[in-house]
Amino acid sequence: MIAHGISYNTNDIDLCYKRDRDNIERLIRAIAPFNPRMRVENLTDAEAQALPFQFDVRSPWNIESLTLMTDCHVPAGRPHE
């Protein structure tokens, strides 16, 4: 495992994963409890939730780069609250 970081907190995590079905299914099971949904620049969380998106095995399989919001804590003053 390799970890890279910066000197300030970005309040996010970037994941690189092996794109095979078993691994993607494990990824889905790990993230699903946190209510993942699309994060779209210039849209509120409510507007982004209205988009036709379902987080399942097809999402990371068909989309190379996903930007997701979750129910994990986001500090006050951050966009997409």
What does the pLDDT look like over 22-54, one tens digit per residue? 999 999 999 999 888 888 889 888 898 888 888
Which domain does 30 fall in, by range? 21-69
- The answer to whether residue 5 is domain-embedded is no
Taking the C-alpha atoms of residue 68 and residue 3, their distance in angstroms, rounded to an integer, is 21
- The answer to whether residue 60 is domain-embedded is yes
- The answer to whether residue 58 is domain-embedded is yes
Sign of the alpha-carbon dihedral angle for 37, 39, 44, 50: negative
pLDDT bucket at 1, cuts 50 / 70 / 90: low
pLDDT bucket at 71, cuts 50 / 70 / 90: confident
Tokens 């095995």 correspond to: 57
- The answer to whether residue 8 is domain-embedded is no
Q: At 13, list the tokens.
A: 């995590």
The burial of 38, by beta-carbon neighbours within 10 Å (0-12 exposed, 13-18 middle, 19 or more buried), is given as buried
pTM more than 0.75: no
Number of domains in the chain: 1
Of 80, 60, 59, 62, the closest CA to residue 71 belongs to: 80
